[in-house]
């Protein structure tokens, strides 16, 4: 097991800064989604006249496919950031309590990549509920 040299106040400070950056990132991702939706609906279509809602054209469909293909990466970035911050805090708490084995376990757990399929499934369920 590696040697530990943790400054709990330093961990708190960095975790706080990362939390602020994650909040900013979440706002950017939300704006990205709105902008892509707007771009897709503004891209027009090849079809002639229509009644009701305009059909999705090829550019709009391509944008939708692009967003769908990148959604896992975006969700993974947020989940991995959250896991890292939470893992650092958990490991630090174990360190403070003198339990270096649990600290190491928390650190290893935080370093694991999140399950992207699970993240996508949860996001799609949430999206299907009409939440914004």
More confident residue, 85 or 68: 85
Q: What is the pTM of this model?
A: 0.71
Residue 2 counted as domain residue: no
Residue 76 counted as domain residue: yes
More confident residue, 45 or 42: 42
pLDDT for residue 59: 86
Residue 49 counted as domain residue: no
Residue 3 counted as domain residue: no
Domain count within the chain: 1
Residue 1 counted as domain residue: no
65: domain range?
A: 8-42+54-128
Q: How high does pLDDT run on average in the chain?
A: 85
Among residues 116, 115, 32, which one has the least CA distance to residue 72?
A: 116
């Amino acid at each position: 097991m590696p040697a530990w040299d943790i400054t709990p106040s330093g961990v708190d400070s960095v975790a706080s800064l990362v939390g602020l950056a994650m909040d900013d990132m979440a706002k950017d991702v939300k704006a990205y989604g709105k902008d892509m939706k707007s771009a897709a609906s503004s891209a027009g279509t090849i079809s002639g006249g229509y009644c009701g809602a305009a059909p999705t054209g090829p550019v709009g469909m391509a944008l939708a496919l692009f967003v769908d293909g990148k959604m896992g990466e975006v969700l993974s970035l947020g989940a991995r950031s959250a896991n890292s911050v939470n893992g650092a805090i958990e490991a630090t708490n174990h360190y403070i309590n003198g339990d270096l084995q649990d600290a190491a376990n928390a650190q290893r757990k935080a370093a694991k990549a999140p399950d992207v399929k699970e993240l996508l499934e949860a996001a799609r369920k949430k999206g299907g509920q009409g939440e914004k």
